[in-house]
Amino acid sequence: MTPERVFDGALLRADLFKGARKRLFVSFRQRVGNAGSFEDVRPVRAFTARGYAHLHIQSLWNDWFVNAETTALEDALRGLAQRYRRAVAMGFSMGGYGALRFSAVLGLAQVIVIAPQVSVHPDEVPWDRRYRDEAPGFDRQAGDLARHGHKSLEGALLCDPFVGADLAHARMVQALFPKLRICRLPGGGHPPSRVLRQGGRLPDLQAQLVDGGIDAAEIIALHRASRRCSPSYFRHMQRYAKVRRPALAERLAAMGQTAVPVVDKG
């Protein structure tokens, strides 16, 4: 399946699959360990097989899509979005931030965002230094979610409550987008969807976005059902338990050794 290049910049790129459809799914590249090149794009068949067009947006660097080409990309997206009667998005970490940042210009109705940042500007989040070196010139105005996001955006925001910085970001994001529901999914780390993936439940998460019936309680139930299959869950929970409950930590370690993931990655 060959995509249509709808924005071809030196810093940002956007590719569209099945563009003639009436519904649009948008994905965003997440933060990568070895930035500096664009990735080959493949359609997310969970959506293209169900009548959606798929738009994938990526940035050359881990700059949270805020750079000299951001305005030009917005202009291209504004015209593109008018083709579709419904648009939804999913994003992980930096990709989750991207879904929120471009939600207004894309006219997004719903999103599922996994451990997104509200900002990486040191004045906005002085307590989170994880990404400080990757976006040293982050433009606070161009990256302002209050200015550029769709305030009535609905959906779910997933985070591991034991990752303090991610939970703090989640609460700040929800203050800007009050119709987003925070789903606290312990034991996944960053991103918290790792447990869902290992439990083979990621397609169920995508299906909620496809159908438009995003249910925070159901997402939490999917996570709960995935725990027994997730070595990552037991590993993370063991680390948290070591501090105050060493006996529990030992039991979690033993359980993790017998956990067999349904999907052996992530």
The secondary structure of the chain, three-state, reads CCCEEEEECCCEEEEEECCCCCEEEEEECCCCCCCCCCCCCCCCHHHHCCCEEEEEEEECCCCCCCCCCHHHHHHHHHHHHCCCCEEEEEEECHHHHHHHHCHHHHCCCEEEEECCCCCCCCCCCCCCCCCCCCCCCCCCCCCCHHHHCCCCCEEEEEECCCCHHHHHHHHHHHHHCCCEEEEECCCCCCCCCHHHHHCCCHHHHHHHHHHCCCCHHHHHHHHHHHHHHCHHHHHHHHHHHCCCCHHHHHHHHHHHHHCCCCCCCC
Q: Is residue 53 part of a domain?
A: yes
Q: Is residue 15 part of a domain?
A: yes
Q: Is residue 255 part of a domain?
A: no
Could you tell me the residue range of the domain that residue 202 belongs to? 4-215
Whichever domain contains 132, its CATH number is 3.40.50.1820
Q: Is residue 234 part of a domain?
A: no
pTM confidence score: 0.94
pLDDT values of the chain reduced to their tens digit, one per residue, 266 residues = 899 999 999 999 999 999 999 999 999 999 999 999 999 999 999 999 999 999 999 999 999 999 999 999 999 999 999 999 999 999 999 999 999 999 999 999 999 999 999 999 999 999 999 998 888 889 999 999 999 999 999 999 999 999 999 999 999 999 999 999 999 999 999 999 999 999 999 999 999 999 899 999 999 999 999 999 899 898 888 888 887 887 877 878 887 787 788 775 54
The total number of structural domains in the chain stands at 1
Q: Is residue 256 part of a domain?
A: no
Q: Is residue 259 part of a domain?
A: no
